[in-house]
Chain A
Amino acid sequence: MTFTLILEQIFNGLQAGVTLFLVAAGLTLILGVMNFVFLAHGAQVMIGAYAAAAITNATGQFFLGILLAVPVTFASGYLLEILIIRHLYRRDHMEQVLATFGLILFFNEAIRIGFGPAALFSDLPPSLSGFVEILPDVPYPAFRLWVIVVGLCCALAIGLFVSRTRTGAMLRAGAENPEMAAALGVNIKMLFRLIFAAGACLAGVAGMMIGPLTAVQSGMGEPLLILSLVVIIIGGIGSVRGAFIAAIIVGLVDTVGRVFLPSLLRLFFDQATADGAGPALASMLVYILMAVILIFRPTGLFPAKGRG
């Protein structure tokens, strides 16, 4: 258990965390401001990854792929809102669950029809496939470092936007008290549309970041969706700041936890039990964390609507 290993794992946790944040940010606003349960958020991740990979493969240019994929995902979110989502705001949560579940099936299948069931080939850009020595003798993949930087920049940008701009203020007002915000003349329709599209765009960016690292295939967004739900619960619904802090915590716990838990267990139990229980416990770790936090703070750490 060397210092360099721990440092490397912290970076890994950060990278996982910022990726989660990109997905969770949109989700927490959609749920908090619009009170809409959008289960198909994982599909937005998938759309972003596919758009970027397809454009990159066609043009041979990675950064062009990302640049063009961003407006594509924004547009897909925008269109989805206009065509279907806006009709569902007044429905109850359960019906929203049913409809968005149907959307997940639709998107997954549409991708399968359009691109085939096999995973799409996507790779790192040559300029970012090297290593950066974060400490002497600790080479860290340049691409992952880039993901951390992009994620943090996005977080900063969103944070500034939410706290320093007028639209941001409207957003916060909407999260805290939607009826009052509407009464005060905020154009709720347009606000909702933009939030939705922006959330989709952020999720798409997350997809574009992980595309080169993982398999770009149908259903790739669902694992991230579940984890993001955990993140926004821990962070508190409607709070972007909460989503960020929770995402980093979850990213670190999940990453560092899985690697060090078996060794930790070995301190207390014999090898066989530790090796048997370790992986199982590691998969449950994030859920245990969520359950514990909810028991003491039933509305998460930084809920927009205040405690209680």
Chain B
Amino acid sequence: MKKSAFIGALMAAITATPVFGETVKIGYMTTLSGGAGITGTQMKQGVELAMDHMENKLGGMDAEVIFVDDQRKPDVAKQLANRLLKSDRVDIVAGVIWSNLLMAIHKPVTRSGKLLISSNAGPSPIAGENCHQNFFSLSWQNDQTPEAMGKHMQDAGVKSVYLMAPNYQAGKDMLTGFKRYYTGEVVAEIYTKLGQTDFQAELSALRAAQPETTMIFQPGGMGINFVKQWKQAGMDSVSKLYSVFTVDAVTLPALQDAGLGILGTQTWSADIDNPINNKFVADFKAKYGGYPSYYAAQAYDTMLAIDYAIGKAGSKDADKMGEILAAGNIPTTRGNLQMNSNHFPIQNIYLRETVKDDDGVVTARIVETVFENHADSYAQYCSF
């Protein structure tokens, strides 16, 4: 072998192996304090479990995760993002529950040349016209889940539906996504007040309309209130209830039996059968005493993705990691995740029903797969 070729091969071998002794720093931003702290806590638990499983190494490098609390305020989020980048000099900024906070930090982080990975929020501008090659979503694009609900109801032959969501951007996006695939009759499209606690008036109007089905998006506390009141008003005998992002492992402990029987669509479920997910769910239950929610699963997947990217790229350079992630085939709790051209996942979306498991704990189980390898609808507007 020629000397130069030999040296070349040696160099290739050296750079291909993970560099030991280098540390990779991840800045993980969620809401830990205040009313929404429960969601942030789930995500933190997901990340910590992942780090446990990977023995605090990502891609072979020693890893440090810096958790920051955005207090659900865009200006705090912005300041934290700046601090993570300039002071803590993190290699990746990840996390972010809320769409508005993601919008606030999107430009500063991507512009700095570091990767921004979302474990939850997926607003359409970032999937479309404002996309950036340094952004990756390990969760979903906001419209995908309601699109699946729309398709399911369309395929199931539902003739009419009564829609309800809170009057804010995410609420409108959800119903828009739903109507993209459901072409039947929409009896009414009601936007309730953000943060509303009492839906009795809306339920009375619903009863008067006698719709065949009702589809709602009421996240967090609003969902708990709505579902409780729906059951208390005996609405199950009036209309069949479907939901997106309303009944999950975060709200079920407060709903208990009231959540039973409700159908919803989701990109992840605790009963997806693959080794990664089985281990995740079992260890999560053992460590934290309850089913993980999709927030926790997505946070876990984010860390798996980072581990995969660094491992395969052999470095923590943003462009190299980005290339690996963009190529897809990322091992996650949802199976091998594929990536769309705008760096949002192409994934299955399942129909799930709330049931009681063998221990009598309320959880959601997959009924059927609505979409296989479903892509989001905004990639066409994205160009890097």
Contacts and interface: CB of A to CB of B under 8 A. Distances in A.
A215 B195 CA distance: 11
Given A141-B233, A217-B221, A275 B197 contact: no
A279 B193 contact: yes
Interface in A101-132: 112, 116-121, 123-124, 129, 131
Contacts of B195: 223
A278 B205 CA distance: 15
Nearest to B191: A279
Interface string B178-199: 0000000000011111110110
A219 B33 CA distance: 12
Contacts of A131: 234
A244 interface: no
Interface stretch (B80-88, B134-142, B252-260): B252-260
Interface in A242-282: 255-256, 258-259, 262, 275, 278-280, 282
A282 B254 contact: no
Interface stretch (B11-19, B109-117, B223-231): B223-231
A262 to B, nearest CB: 8
B232 interface: yes
Interface stretch (B35-43, B44-52, B277-285): B35-43
A241 interface: no
A12 interface: yes
A78 interface: no
Contact of B193 (A8, A219, A283): A283
A2 interface: yes
A218 B204 CA distance: 28
Contacts of A283: 167, 193-194
B228 A117 contact: no
B271 interface: no
B201 interface: yes
Given A15-B200, A210-B197, A218 B208 contact: no
Contact of A279 (B192, B201, B253, B258): B192
Contacts of A215: 197, 221, 224-225, 228, 254
B167 A2 contact: no
B202 interface: yes
A98 B30 CA distance: 28
B197 A118 contact: no
B250 interface: yes
A211 to B, nearest CB: 10
Contacts of A16: 198, 200
Interface string A203-217: 000000010111111
A217 B35 contact: yes
Interface in A180-238: 210, 212-220, 223
Contact of A119 (B191, B202, B224, B229): B224
A9 interface: yes
A5 interface: yes
Contacts of A214: 197-198, 224-225, 228-229
Range of interface residues on B (Cβ < 8 Å) = 35 or more
Contacts of A124: 232
Contacts of A60: none
Nearest to A256: B201
Given A141-B233, A213-B232, A275-B189, A12 B208 contact: no
A139 B234 contact: yes
A219 to B, nearest CB: 5
A123 B256 CA distance: 10
B204 A118 contact: no
Nearest to B258: A123
Given A117-B37, A215-B221, A282 B200 contact: no
A213 B228 CA distance: 7
A213 B221 CA distance: 12
Interface in B34-84: 35, 37-38, 41
Contacts of A255: 200-201
A212 B225 CA distance: 9
A214 to B, nearest CB: 5
Contacts of A210: 197-198
A104 to B, nearest CB: 12
A167 interface: no
Given A2-B208, A117-B35, A258-B193, A213 B229 contact: yes
Interface string A1-36: 010110011001101100000000000000000000
19 contacts: A2-B208, A5-B207, A8-B208, A12-B204, A16-B200, A117-B37, A121-B256, A129-B232, A141-B234, A212-B228, A213-B228, A213-B232, A214-B224, A214-B229, A215-B254, A258-B193, A259-B204, A262-B190, A278-B191
Shortest 6 CB-CB contacts between residues of A and residues of B:
A279-B191, A119-B254, A215-B224, A279-B167, A5-B208, A8-B204
Given A213-B225, A258-B202, 19 more contacts: A2-B208, A9-B204, A13-B201, A117-B38, A119-B221, A119-B224, A119-B251, A120-B254, A123-B256, A129-B232, A141-B233, A213-B229, A214-B229, A215-B228, A217-B35, A258-B193, A262-B190, A278-B191, A283-B194
